[in-house]
Structure 1
Amino acid sequence: MLSLFARRVTLSTRRSAATYTRILPSSASAIRLRGIRDTTPHANALRTFVNPQRNASTKATATTNKAKSSAKSKTAGRVKPGRKLTPEQKAALKQALQVKKELDRKKKAERAAALKAKLKAQSEKKKQAATLKRKRLAEKKKKLAEARKARLAKEKEKRLKAREAKKPKIIKPPPRRMTPFSLFVQEAKKPLQGVAADWRNLPEEGKQEYAVRAKAVAEKRKEEFNAFVKTVTPADVIRYNRHQRNKGATGIRVRFNDRPLSSFMRYAQEFRMRPDQAGKRLVEVSKAAGEAWRSMTQEEKDQYKPKSTKQTTA
């Protein structure tokens, strides 16, 4: 019998009969170590044959489970098959099934609503987290942009300062001239139109007084300007004149040689200081000075001959 059983197992697992004849007296653990799988029916049969107590325990367990299931069906109020139900029992059973179905439907709806609310809360939470992340990212970008802008402005200011330091400075000459009308405007501190009307209505004695005072101021300014001219170079004057020309203003003329002003130029400067020439344009004053110079005698012209100076202004 053992040989037949071992031969049957050999045909299913491709093992030799001598191998199973040799391992039959061993235990179930030894059989597993020899390579027989627990899931094969021949291995289970072999295990039962080797251990006779296994068959008895299996039957006892099956009997116990059957008894428990029958007792449970009785307590649950199940009706045995083949027994007929009365109409009242059918109605009660139908009503119980409907109540159970309604309860199941309500529970299912509640679970679906709870799941929907949970998913909605998770979605809202994700949206809030994404919004907060975007906000923080935007704030970070804004701070970086502001820092970059401040850094660029600082670098630009630094470059401008370095450029300005390399550039030569523009000289600022002191004022040179002062006419009677300019002195009157400076002391009046009124709008130019009203001051012009007051100057026209001013008597001749008042104009003469302003002419004397303006001549003194002009002489003082001329001395200051001559002292200033001694401290500058031709390049400084050229740079200043270019700067004034770009602004639409007039520059200065400085003579850096020993040649003094001519007699006519000295007379023209004095002619501009007269009170009757106040308020007139430079072209009109120069034209009037030329006509007056041509009508003068040689002796009168000799009074304006220049004195030798090293550096004069025009």
Structure 2
Amino acid sequence: MATIFVNNPGNLSNPSQIQRLNKLVNEMESLPESWGSSKNKHWKAFVRTDGENGTLKRFFFTTAYHGERLKEWAERANLQNKWRDIIDKYNDLNATVFNDEGLFLDLINNMPTDAWQSALATLICMTTICALFMGGEWRTVILAGITIGSIILGTLGILAWMDITMDPIMMAALVISIGFSIDIPAHVSYHFYSSGFDLPKPINKNDRHLFLNQRLTTTLLAVGIPALQAAISTSFCVLALLLVPLYMAQIFVKIMFSCIILCVIHSLILIPALIVLSDGILWNLFLLCHNTESVPNSIES
């Protein structure tokens, strides 16, 4: 339902002015989603006139729209933009359009920008925090940042694949899921970093491989089971929302469940794999540059 306020109807004794008002109404009714003139309403009680001579000062009318596509927030936002484009053609009438959902529909256009800004801010903040606490091991800091960014992008990709449009409910659930995506990767990264202090430093290539295996084993034994328990318990809590037949509950379950699965896969499989891969690359680069089998302190991390 669109409510159009005409604040300066002008001199209606002039036929051309009446024709211009009718043109505004016709344009609003000519949109594909419009019900047509049968749903165009105005009320005498809401007409404002000059008390002295009865000149019309302002009035409003309503017109209705429908369609299967208007179930989607994005489509309703597009329709509202069409209304505004029409109204902007009639500046002389000082017309405005009002919709009960306008406050939320205006947010739709900003959703993509807000989403990537929130994700980027989260990634920068978490990478900075990891650098402060694990600054002595830059490789782990970089891998933690890459993992968090991959989880966020993966969640957005799954939502697009499931054809979930950006709306206020989806945005709120996404912000919550972004916070959850940080938890397990940060624990795995920090435990891997701290495990290096309790083990003897490697001297040669064989010792380096053993040192890396011991660190990964210590990390996964300390974090693996608790991480799986947290993921499973959170999943059960979230899945209970499916019992409620609400759009908000269904969206929240899809987003959180996708994020949890990606978080576990990245934290317990991808991070260890990247650590092993990067270790081999660093070692081969060192051998190419120095032609030695000893392990320098600069690449122990």
- What is the TM-score when the length of structure 1 is the normalising length? 0.20
Give 1 or 2 for the bigger CA radius of gyration.
Answer: 1
Q: Which is bigger in relative contact order (C-alpha 8 A, separation at least 6)?
A: 2
- Please state which structure has a larger fraction of its residues in strand: 2
